[in-house]
A and B are shown apart, each in its own frame.
Chain A
Amino acid sequence: MKKRVYSFVALMLALIMVLSACSDSGSNSSNNLGGNDSNTKETSDNANSDNSDDGGLSAPGELPISGDKISLAISTPRWPNTLSYEYGENALTTWLQDQTNVEVKWNLLPDADKLQKLNLELSSGGDLGDIIMSDFGVDNSFLATYGSQNTLLPLEDLIEKHAPNIQKQFEQYPEIKTAVTAPDGHIYGLVEYGNCYNCNRAMRFWINSDFLEELDMEMPTTTEEFHQYLKAVKEKDPNGNGEADEIGMTGSPKSWYANVHQFILHAFRHFDGNGLYIRNDKVTAAYSTEEWREGLRYLNTLYKDGLIDPSAFTNDESQMKQTVELNNGNTVGAVAGGGQHVFAANEETRKRYDIVLPLKGPDGFQSAFRNDYGMIGAYKFMIPASAKNPEAAIKWIDFMYTEEPNARGRYGVPGEHWEVPQGSVAANGDTAKFRILGKDIWQEPQSAHWHGANHVWSRWGSDAREKLPEGQFDLETDLYEAAVAYDKYASKVSVPKFFFEPDNAMRYNELREALKKYYEAATADFIVGNRDVEKDWETYISELKNIGVEEFIEIQQAEYDRNWK
């Protein structure tokens, strides 16, 4: 009796599960198809109807965007320091609505996991409104994937019809258009124009000028002189506290070009941010060359002499700052980093560190990093295929490509947070374009802007800021001057940001991640001596080949030959 009940229940259960599995997948797939169909239909309908009568929208490039008040839904990560995004509370929202007659309906996503959230919403047919705005950390393979699935709207026709300012950017910088055009010929996302001279020359290195003076030494110009300087720091107690507590050099793998090896290895071989370079139209992995090995030998000697802080390979940015700030900033002889602000917390410490020009290696080789494609910034705008009003959306985005929304989006309200000075000199030596009133609100809690979410084309870089008075720490001036000096040693070797077909993009991403992880770990191991530069180099090279370094180079070489030669 009991057995029969069991088997009956079991049978029923099995049946239910089979049925529900069927109906589940059935309804899912039909749902998805239905959703996509209606989406694409809707947009094409929209496009058609809008061509026949202009739906109250203005002529291309003219404000206000719409005669009648319309609304657009925008998905963007909620910046924790922007206190409100609403009309009447946020200065940028208010100003934009008054200019365009477009009300923004916000769809604010958690900032900490924005890319994950965006992936989830896109792959499950979530409603992302009319515009996806801000830097989600999206790359080309993301766009290739979702573009080919018709989840993102191709923008090139919309741009041609409605967006004169975006076209202007494409004409002025054709590289940007090449870089954002997918292999299928469509444009799925729009990038920010990177107008930052010093950011593209940011593998910098800094020396404690007080120590130099105390030791009565000249600024090192060769790897050998640098070695001598570090030794002196370690042995001669330049901070004068009677203890041998000085640290030769430190850094951090998790900050802005603050790895200990990146700057120094440039005395042996040139390479870009991914450890690659292009010379005579040939893509090469710098980390598999003999010169790289020679550089590791040198770094290993430094490490063996106790001149490199062991925690430099694990520090995060705030740990690096703590190390540099020991003894009121009188401990570390040399630090790697894009600017003094990433490794020093106090203004006094920041002023103490002077820039080191590219060092000359033992064979006389000397080079500096330069990112030749820095103008191609992060993806800032996309339009989801489910957008209800793509024409108004592209017109709104197009307005962001004019001057004022960019300045307001980065520095706040003119006259309140910044102003145009009268003929004073900028950090980059030209006429200053702006002066910050009071403190830069960029990192402060504020309701003036969206923390650069709409920032796509600034006509002047941050180095167009008025020079600060003598004696004050002026990051922009320091970095600009350093960048000018470094540029003399830089050559065009960096690898462009390729846009691969979805399959190639996936393979490329896999290989890039795997290789990067492996060579960076191995580089640290070679420096600290966990691997022997003499004995283990062959194993390292063959392991690189196992991971697929040759295929990785081939994929890029083919793409380079096709579109970038």
Chain B
Amino acid sequence: MSNSKLALTRSDKIFYFFNDLFLLMALLAVLYPLIYIVSASFSDRLAVVSGKVVLWPVDFSLEGYVAVFKDPRILLGYMNTLFYTVAGTSINVVLTIMAAYPLSRKTMVGRNMIMYIFAFTMLFNGGLIPNYLLIKELGMIDTRWALLLPAGLSVFNVIIARTFYQTTISQELFEAASIDGCSHVRFVWNIVLPLSKAITAVLILFYGVFHWNSYFNAFIYLKSDHLYPLQIVLRDILVQNQIDPTTITDPVSMMRKQGLGELMKFSIIIIASLPVWIVYPFVQKHFVKGVMIGSIKG
């Protein structure tokens, strides 16, 4: 560190110089596309298509943003995604803690077996069509529940949380509490949760980002367009379907999505990722910490 007064050797200096140079280049490589998207979102559509936008906005225009905010489906999708993220994350976090805490207690009977069964589902599952049939038989097709319940618990996150509880909440703590007549439920609520805010934050972030970005479950299980999350709406606008050129019946039909796609492409990307951009800096430190904690073998 800099406050250790050891002088850098010549080879250290060379190493640091190249290291910094390398990191700077890596930074630029990551940063440039972001800046480009922001600039392109504020530029005129023709300037973007003609490749005139290099770093800063050209022919400043808010046309893209106006189009996005005028579009009822995008706003509806946004609200839906917010709902799925909040409701889904709540269910996830509650279930994960309820599974992870008991599994972290050594007194629990058969906990290794249960853990094996949990882990089994990480490696094997029924596959797409059986899953679909299951959800259909459960009557969840085309309901909001289909996005909340089947993804209710991620075993990976249970393992992280369990390891955290195992290493930081000692058995003696519960023994001390139970002498005063504390039950497991009260122990979790009053002692474990306040002591493990970091892991809760990590769970919220993991699950939150998962719900925000998830699209496949919605694609499979939903049919009503008023239930679609933002990601489905985005894909519909941005993804150009492959067309068989021999079936084209109108020269203009070749330009199917361009009008909308090119106008909104960049502004929509910005708007869709804005919440994550805003939240991420605040939870980033927990993110790193949480993963580190989870990675210690219990």
Chain A residues within 8 Å of B, Cβ to Cβ = 5-6, 9-10, 13, 24, 28, 31, 78, 80-81, 83, 107-114, 116-117, 120, 123-126, 135, 137, 192-196, 198-199, 202, 255-257, 273, 317-318, 321-323, 325-326, 328, 338-339, 341-342, 345-346, 371, 373-374, 377-378, 410, 440, 442-445, 452, 455, 458, 461-462, 475-476, 479, 497
Contacts and interface: CB of A to CB of B under 8 A. Distances in A.
B244 interface: yes
Contacts of B262: 318
Nearest to B234: A112
B242 interface: yes
Given A13-B117, A110-B219, A124-B129, A273 B249 contact: no
A112 B251 contact: no
A256 B256 CA distance: 12
Given A196-B250, A342-B254, 18 more contacts: A9-B113, A83-B71, A112-B236, A112-B238, A124-B129, A124-B132, A135-B247, A192-B247, A194-B247, A198-B251, A256-B248, A273-B246, A325-B51, A339-B251, A341-B252, A346-B50, A445-B71, A479-B251
Contact of B241 (A81, A112, A120, A325): A112
A124 B49 contact: no
26 contacts: A6-B113, A9-B110, A108-B223, A110-B232, A112-B235, A120-B129, A124-B129, A199-B251, A255-B254, A257-B245, A321-B49, A322-B51, A341-B255, A342-B255, A373-B246, A374-B246, A442-B252, A443-B256, A443-B259, A443-B260, A455-B249, A461-B249, A461-B250, A475-B251, A476-B251, A497-B246
B46 A346 contact: yes
A345 B46 contact: yes
Contacts of B71: 83, 445
Contact of A199 (B224, B235, B249, B257): B249
Interface of B: 46, 49-51, 67, 70-73, 110, 113, 117, 128-130, 132-133, 136, 141, 219-220, 223-225, 228, 232-233, 235-239, 241-260, 262
A123 B220 CA distance: 13
Nearest to B235: A112
Q: Which 3 interchain pairs have the tightest Cβ spacing?
A: A443-B259, A322-B51, A325-B50
A6 B225 CA distance: 50
B142 to A, nearest CB: 9
B254 A137 contact: no
B129 A371 contact: no
Contact of A462 (B50, B228, B236, B250): B250
A199 B46 CA distance: 26
Contacts of B49: 318, 321-322, 325, 345
B236 to A, nearest CB: 4
Nearest to A139: B244
B248 A113 contact: no
B232 to A, nearest CB: 5
A131 B160 CA distance: 48
Contacts of A479: 251
A112 B110 contact: no
Given A120-B129, A374-B246, A443-B259, A80 B237 contact: yes
A68 to B, nearest CB: 26
Nearest to B131: A124
A110 B235 contact: yes
A378 B247 contact: yes
B236 A110 contact: yes
B45 to A, nearest CB: 9
Nearest to A192: B249
B252 A28 contact: no
Interface core residue of B129, B239, B248 (most chain A CB under 10 Å): B248
A147 B127 CA distance: 24
B236 A111 contact: yes
Given A108-B223, A341-B255, A378-B244, A410 B250 contact: yes
Contacts of B237: 80
Contact of B236 (A80, A257, A452): A80
B249 A195 contact: yes
Contacts of A461: 249-250
Contact of A120 (B46, B128, B239, B256): B128
Contacts of B242: 137
Given A28-B130, A318-B49, A443-B258, A338 B251 contact: yes
A8 B228 CA distance: 46
Contacts of B219: 110, 113, 116-117
Nearest to A85: B225
Contact of A80 (B247, B250, B257): B257
A198 B245 CA distance: 12
A462 B51 CA distance: 31
Contact of B251 (A120, A196, A378): A196
Nearest to A318: B49
B260 to A, nearest CB: 5
A80 B241 contact: no
B241 A202 contact: no
A108 B236 contact: no
A345 B128 CA distance: 42
A462 B259 contact: no
Contacts of A6: 113
B47 to A, nearest CB: 10
Contact of B225 (A108, A123, A462): A108
A240 B239 CA distance: 39
Given A123-B129, A124-B133, A377-B247, A322 B50 contact: yes
A123 B136 CA distance: 13
Nearest to A324: B50
Determine which residue in A111, A377, A378, A461 has the highest number of CB atoms from chain B within 10 A of its CB, and name it: A111
A123 B131 CA distance: 13
Contact of A5 (B110, B220, B260): B110
